A and B are shown apart, each in its own frame.
Chain A
Amino acid sequence: MARVVVDVMLKPEILDPQGQAVQGALGRLGFAGVTSVRQGKQFVIDVDGPADDALRSRADEMATTLLANLVIEDYTVQVAD
């Protein structure tokens, strides 16, 4: 069994109003010095088989096909046993 973790974030140039709302809330709660909040998604995917290059390649395909919209989002993939 292997685990694939895909992190998806809005590209830096895309406005993230949810992140800004969270930043505002942190400020109101007294957390000083917060200069930016960006909100993303994490997918934790368990897969049969080993954590090898073939899985890395498949995980990349999952990310580009479905998990991330490359028009507005960047992603990173981690694969581990």
Chain B
Amino acid sequence: MAPRIGVVTFPGSLDDRDAARAVRLAGGEPVALWHKDNSVAGVDAVVLPGGFSYGDYLRCGAISRFSPVMAAVIEGAQAGLPVLGICNGFQILCESGLLPGALTRNDNLHFVCRDQRLRIESVTTAWTSGYTAGQEIVVPLKNGEGGYVADERTLDELEAEGRVVARYLEVNPNGSRRDIAGISNAAGNVVGLMPHPEHAVEPLTGPTTDGLAFFTSVLTQLVRP
């Protein structure tokens, strides 16, 4: 039986369908989760998709972080459940405290939408084991508040512990500290990423298929005996 990957829909989520499609193309069974659910329905992993949950009111992800389903996601994540937060999902993971730091307004004040080159820095996470260390990929990026910030000590810790998962190459599109595009928690089961691998999973609709390995990585981990 294919591993079941939950995709949470919040009011204002945009990329839940694409995330579910990426899960399916990778060989998993996508399971739709709703923000008001009180559990994650026994899924094997969870994707928090991109979008503008709760209209980005207050701060991006600040209100979604307190939705009922997030209590179950946080509890699961602390027990090792693989969780991938993409864009708004990354913001929610930072707001929830599962990942350190915060995402702030792009330093150029523009909403940036481009195909972005990244370097995969860590291949020991649940979501990146299918890449090779240092592999360069191109996936879409689209955000207005994607500038990753944390204090210097936290940034040093992330670097020292190999928890910088991906870095921007060629252009830093939003002023992220140390060109950070994605990070993981210490255990490696929780990953937050500002660019969108779920939009780069098949040639017809994406600039590449470079994003698919995020989803095949977690499936590989889940079927491992």
Which residues of A approach B to under 8 Å, CB–CB?
Answer: 10, 14-15, 17-18, 21, 66-67, 69, 71-72
A14-B104 in contact (CB<8A): yes
**Interface membership of B106, Cβ < 8 A:** yes
CA distance A66 to B58 in the complex (A): 9
Category for how many chain B residues contact A: 20 to 34
B positions within 8 Å CB-CB of A: 58-59, 62-63, 66, 94-95, 100-102, 104-109, 147, 149-150, 175
With known contacts A14-B149, A66-B58, A69-B95, A21–B66 Cβ distance under 8 A: no
- Which of A66, A67, A71 interacts with B102 by CB under 8 Å? A71
Assess the B105–A18 pair: CB atoms within 8 A. Answer: yes
A66 x B66 contact (CB < 8 A) = yes
A71 to B151, CA, bound (A): 8
Cα distance, A39 to B171, chains bound together (Å): 27
Give the A-B pair count, Cβ closer than 8 A.
35
CB distance from A69 to the nearest CB of B (A): 6
Give the residues in chain B near A14, CB-CB below 8 Å: 104, 149
Q: Contacts A15-B107, A17-B105 given; indicate if A72 touches B62 (C-beta within 8 A).
A: no
Determine which of B66, B104, B107 lies in contact with A72 in the assembled complex, contact meaning CB atoms within 8 Å.
Answer: B104
Judge whether B149 and A72 touch: CB under 8 Å.
yes
Interface centre among B94, B100, B104, B108 (most CB of A within 10 A): B104
Closest chain B CB from A73 CB (angstroms): 8
Q: By CB atoms of chain A within 10 A, which of B58, B101, B109, B147 has the most?
A: B58
- 25 A-B pairs within 8 Å (CB atoms) are namely A14-B149, A15-B104, A15-B149, A15-B175, A17-B106, A17-B108, A17-B109, A17-B175, A18-B105, A18-B109, A66-B58, A66-B62, A66-B63, A67-B58, A69-B59, A69-B62, A69-B95, A69-B102, A71-B94, A71-B100, A71-B101, A71-B149, A72-B102, A72-B104, A72-B149
